[in-house]
Chains A and B, each alone.
Chain A
Amino acid sequence: MLLVESSPETLDRRLAVSAIAENTSGNLIEPGLLRIGDDGRPVPDLAESFRQIDPVTYEAVLRPGLQFHDGTTVSAEDVVATYDTLRDPRLHSPLASRFDELSQVSAVDARRVRFTLKQPAAEFPVNLNMGLVPARGAAAVGQAEFGRHPVGAGPFRFVDWPDEEHLLLEANPSYYGGRPAIGHLLVKTVRDENTRALELMHGKADICLGAISPPLLEILSRSANLEILSTPGANAAYLMFQLADSKLRDARVRRAIGEAVDREAIVRYKFGGHATLATTLMPPGNWARDDDLPQLPYDPIAAAALLDAAGLKPDLQGIRLSLDYKTSTDRFRRSIGLVLVDQLAKVGIDVNLSSLEFGTFFSDIRKGNFELATLKWVPIIDPDLYTLTFASSSIPTPDNNYNGANRGHYVNPEVDFLLAQARRVESEAARRQIYLAVQPILARDLPYVVLWYEDSTAVMRKGLTGFSLSPFGFFSSLAKVRPVEADR
């Protein structure tokens, strides 16, 4: 039994928006041509090979002998059907916009598929992890139908979904990676975290991925029949500044704030060590990461000096600057927020923390209606994320319908240029060079103070083996889990 914190809204990978839906459908039931490797690079999954033919064309070759759960062979036709229906407006897929650059998908022969783009887009291949569905099923454009009875070529096939909280899957004997050792997999939704912990402690559930917060991990780690797995996660928690606000326009102020925060203490005491200090958005292990960037030091004295230099001297009550800080109502996040408030107060920054309900919070963030805010980017796969977060074209405004995630209104023509370049070059090495140039600029300008990378965690009952934890918290590895052989 796998415990999850919320129910997938659909099992149709083409429609999945939430992480739980993506993981359940995409990892277990309907994998795609490619999958995301631990370092963020796309890696062949159902495809046996994948290459770029010219700047706008990619070719994938399916493995021989692949079968869908209904027994039919997986062919290039199915791939074409998957991507065509995905972009068909009648399906109303929220993911369709990821494929705007795709001009055409065509089958060259029974196992060979070509993707033609409108213009070079080096970040495109990552999207080819889209779950493949049979051409016949793909034609079922009525959402509810396929999403409730999915068919794919994954390690587990769909059995039943009697109510929101119980999803039953069974092992697929014809999976190309071998039949999973787990005969049946029940995905159970338990919304209350304490209840999840209790079910694990009392042995009612076998595994829970990423849905237990650090304080409870501590308790669970003391349990004799549970094992805690932990690995640096492909995410980054960050403190975002509203640069359009005059108070935060001075880079010295932003740096001062960054140096006033004792991130190490937070990682040690609030995450119990299950997090790593961050320097850049790209998490450790990512192929595009600049590993040579220095850490922002914890130095309240230097921070105070920076604020002095920026002309912010303490007033009679010792306050130099007042800022509004917004965060969600999530208790853990709010609790971290309180620590930040306390630390910033020590250098004379008076922070007013408001905990907003998610809808309001997200709306305010999108509209730039904040001064400080803490959020987390998850998952972080491809460095093209930088375009979404820091390109000036990504600033959400009423005119562009609030598209784009550059909510802090960061504008830097040099960065814009570099990011556009990175999309056009072909070789990964060339891309990496460009991103290695971008990251130091961001570390100097500090539109974000990247706080830490939170570990991807798993709680598993002892007696199970074969599971390897992905930094993305993917469920795929469940296909390899098996009970430990009992000693005789």
Chain B
Amino acid sequence: MTRRWHWTGLLGAGVVLLVVAAGVFAPWLSPYGPRQLDLPHAFAAPGPGHLLGAGDNGVDLLTQVLYGARVSLAVGVLAVLVAGTLGTVLGTAVGYLGGLADELAMRVVDILLAFPGLLLAIFLTSVFGPSFVGLIFALSATGWGAYARLARAQTLSLRRRDFVTAARAAGAGAPRIVLRHLLPNLLGPILVQATFGLPGTILAEASLSFLGLGARPGTPEWGALVDQGAAHLLDAPHVALVPSAAIALTVLGLNFLGEAVRDRLDPKGS
């Protein structure tokens, strides 16, 4: 059992590192500029001039994939950070305070969770049109509820514990208790939730940009690239498959890594 998660976890970590490096060093690693065209080689199959092939108007797919890594990672990490921070803080606060604030907050979360999957994100982006900020906003809005619920549940169970009573007896105010005592204990489960959240968010971002709801058109995004390639499955299937493979690889790596992290943090978890 131990040996099993080890190698997948390492593999996952390796893939994630690769993707991060790709994103960070994209400008240096890319053989072409991000918007550079090469008309004579439009839709070229992978070969010497274009290692991963070329897409519409000859854009180099390797370049697009490298720059796309930036967007996917940035959106994914930021969305999870915003959702996680916001959700945790709010959930802890209402869990500790209880009463009306708690009821109200949980109603709001219920409403947000009433929307199936990506629908809320799709709906939110439909108003503003494509934009980077809008994307992060939509993805965070969809995700923070889970963190809030989790934080609240943890808070509720923790607040009756001895160390909290002791702290209160010692005269500590609510904020101090929350920050000093509750939050650190929450971190574990929250991090576990985040390991589900990150690959999910990246998959969501890919789907949104595939649907045309991602960042501004012209931004190299994996999902948008697949969308462009979808029309050419007959003549140039690699244009759709290469960015899809990038997405799958990244999400897979994150899932493996996530599993390993979860096993480490919470060995008796499902």
Contacts and interface: CB of A to CB of B under 8 A. Distances in A.
Q: Do chains A and B touch in the complex (CB under 8 A)?
A: yes
B37 interface: yes
B214 to A, nearest CB: 15
B37 A215 contact: no
Interface string B42-62: 110000000000001100000
A218 B39 contact: no
B57 A339 contact: yes
B231 interface: yes
B56 A335 contact: yes
B61 to A, nearest CB: 16
B107 interface: no
B234 A338 contact: no
B168 interface: no
Interface in A188-218: 193-194, 197-198, 215-216, 218
The majority secondary structure among interface residues of chain A is helix
Nearest to B233: A194
A316 interface: no
Contact of B235 (A215, A266, A331, A335): A215
A194 B231 CA distance: 8
Contacts of B233: 194
A342 B232 CA distance: 22
B39 A270 contact: yes
A106 interface: no
Contacts of A193: 231
Nearest to A218: B235
A268 to B, nearest CB: 8
The majority secondary structure among interface residues of chain B is loop
A174 interface: no
B162 to A, nearest CB: 63
Interface in A318-354: 331, 335, 338-339, 342
Given A270-B42, A339-B37, A355 B235 contact: no
Given A335-B57, A339-B57, A342-B35, A215 B232 contact: yes
Given A269-B40, A270-B42, A335-B57, A198 B231 contact: no
B31 interface: no
A219 interface: yes
A98 B220 CA distance: 48
Nearest to B37: A342
A340 to B, nearest CB: 11
A354 to B, nearest CB: 9
A215 B42 CA distance: 10
Contact of A216 (B40, B217, B235): B235
B56 A219 contact: no
A437 interface: no
> Which of A197, A218, A339 has the most C-beta atoms of chain B within 10 angstroms of its own C-beta?
A339
B42 A269 contact: yes
Interface string A247-274: 0000000000000000001100110000
Contacts of B56: 335, 338
Interface in B206-225: 217
A266 B58 CA distance: 12
Interface in A248-303: 265-266, 269-270
Interface in B77-116: none
Contact of A215 (B35, B40, B43, B217): B43
Contacts of B234: 194, 197-198, 216, 219
A193 B235 CA distance: 12
Contacts of B236: 215
B22 to A, nearest CB: 24
Interface in A142-200: 193-194, 197-198
B52 to A, nearest CB: 19
Given A335-B57, A355-B217, A219 B42 contact: no
Nearest to A192: B231
Contacts of A218: 235
Contacts of A339: 37, 39, 57
A216 B43 CA distance: 12
A338 to B, nearest CB: 6
A216 B217 CA distance: 25
A138 to B, nearest CB: 44
A342 B38 CA distance: 11
A147 B24 CA distance: 62
Interface in B15-32: none
Given A219-B234, A338-B57, A355-B217, 10 more contacts: A218-B235, A265-B39, A265-B40, A269-B40, A331-B231, A335-B56, A335-B57, A338-B37, A338-B56, A342-B35
**Sorted from nearest, which 9 A-B pairs have the closest CB atoms?**
A269-B39, A219-B235, A194-B234, A342-B37, A335-B56, A215-B235, A331-B231, A265-B39, A339-B57
28 contacts: A193-B231, A194-B231, A194-B233, A194-B234, A197-B234, A198-B234, A215-B43, A215-B235, A215-B236, A216-B235, A219-B234, A265-B39, A265-B40, A266-B39, A269-B39, A269-B40, A269-B42, A270-B42, A270-B57, A331-B231, A335-B56, A338-B37, A339-B37, A339-B57, A342-B35, A342-B37, A342-B57, A355-B217
